[in-house]
Amino acid sequence: MSKKQSASSLISELKRKTRKKYSAEEKIRIILEGMRGEISVAELCRREGIYQANYYKWSKDFMEAGKKRLNGDTLREANSSEVGELKEENSSLKELVAELSLENKRLKKNDYGVE
């Protein structure tokens, strides 16, 4: 391997290791700045150190999420195991309420002699 090849492979390895993960807030800030149009998307991406493809993907995801939110499609479908667990818990809680209601009536009857 020549010096030039080893240097370029070292640089690409460093870039890979130092790749930044952007939080949702950072992505939104960048997207909104791009939508304002005060600077070009290319210039914004250069300044932020991201590829334009990333900007456009984030922008598309942002718009789709907003559309879903406005349509009220924010609920996720529960999986069958969650539904089963919740039904079992609901049944157990109903039984507990019934038992406690009977116990409460019995105690009132004994204390007050009233039904």
The residues spanned by each domain of the chain are 20-75, 76-115
Q: Assess contact for 14 and 25: CB atoms under 8 A.
A: no
Distance CA 61, CA 109 (A): 63
pLDDT by residue (tens digit) across 78-113?
A: 678 888 899 999 999 999 999 999 999 999 888 876
The model's pTM is: 0.49
Q: Structure tokens of 19?
A: 């790749």
Which amino acid appears at position 88 of this protein? Answer: E
Distance of alpha carbon 35 from alpha carbon 56, whole angstroms: 11
**pLDDT tens across 9-62, in order?**
777 666 666 667 899 999 999 999 999 999 999 999 999 999 999 999 999 999
